[in-house]
Amino acid sequence: MTGTADPTRTTSTPSPTTALRDVIVVGAGPTGLLLAGDLAAAGVPVTLVEKRPHRISNLSRAFAVHARTLEQLDARGLADELEARGQTLDRVRLFGRLTVRLDTLPSRFNHVLVIPQYEVEKALERRAVEAGVRFRYETEVTGVRQSGDTVTVEVRGPRGEGEPEELTAAYVVGADGHRSTVREAIGLPFPGRSVIRSVVLADVRLDEQPGTLLTGGAVGDAFAFLAPFGDGYHRVVGWLRGRDVPDSEPLELDEVREITRLALGRDYGMRDARWMSRFHSDERQAPAYRVGRVFLAGDAAHVHSPAGGQGMNTGLQDAANLGWKLAAVLGGHVDPALLDTYQAERHPVGRSVLRSSGGIVRLAMAKYPWTLAFRSAVTAFLDRVGPVRTRVIGQVTGVGYTYGAPRGAHRLVGTRVPDVTLRSGRLHEALRGGRFVLITPGSCGLHTAGDRTDRLTVEQWASDRRTTVLVRPDGYVAWAADDADGPAVEAALTAAVGAR
Q: What is the pLDDT of residue 448?
A: 32
Answer yes or no: is pLDDT of 297 > 60.
Answer: yes
Q: Nearest Cα to 93, choosing from 212, 226, 209?
A: 212
Mean pLDDT of 421-431: 80
370-373 CB contacts, 8 Å cutoff, 24+ apart: none
| Residue 74 pLDDT > 80 | yes
Q: Is residue 179's pLDDT more than 90?
A: yes
Does residue 154 or residue 16 have the better pLDDT? 154
Q: Where is mean pLDDT largest: 96-100, 209-213, 287-291, 462-466?
A: 287-291
pLDDT confidence tier of residue 449, bands split at 50, 70 and 90: very low
d(C-alpha 102, C-alpha 92), whole Å: 8
Please compute the mean of the pLDDT values over residues 307-325 and round it to a whole number: 90
Between vectors from CA 42 to CA 36 and to CA 45, what angle results, nearest 5°? 55
pLDDT at position 105 is: 85
Q: What is the mean pLDDT of the chain?
A: 82
- The CA distance from 226 to 214, in Å, is 6
Most confident of 173-182, 247-256, 325-334: 173-182
Q: How confident is the model at residue 89, as a pLDDT?
A: 84
Specify the pairing of strand 134-136 against strand 46-49: parallel
The pLDDT confidence band at residue 94, using thresholds 50, 70 and 90, is low
Residue with the bigger pLDDT between 52 and 370: it is 52
pLDDT of residue 500: 30
Tell me: pLDDT of 457 over 60: no
**98 pLDDT above the threshold of 60:** yes
- Least confident range from 73-82, 112-121, 266-275, 487-496: namely 487-496
5-62 pLDDT per residue, tens = 333 333 334 444 445 789 999 999 999 999 999 999 999 999 999 998 876 666 657 7
Q: Quick one: average pLDDT of 330-357?
A: 91
Over 90: is that where the pLDDT of 330 sits?
yes
pLDDT of 243 reads: 82
C-alpha span between 335 and 328 (Å, rounded)? 9
Q: What is the mean pLDDT of residues 269-291?
A: 91
Confidence band of 103 (pLDDT split at 50, 70, 90):
confident
Per-residue pLDDT band at 228 (split at 50, 70, 90): confident
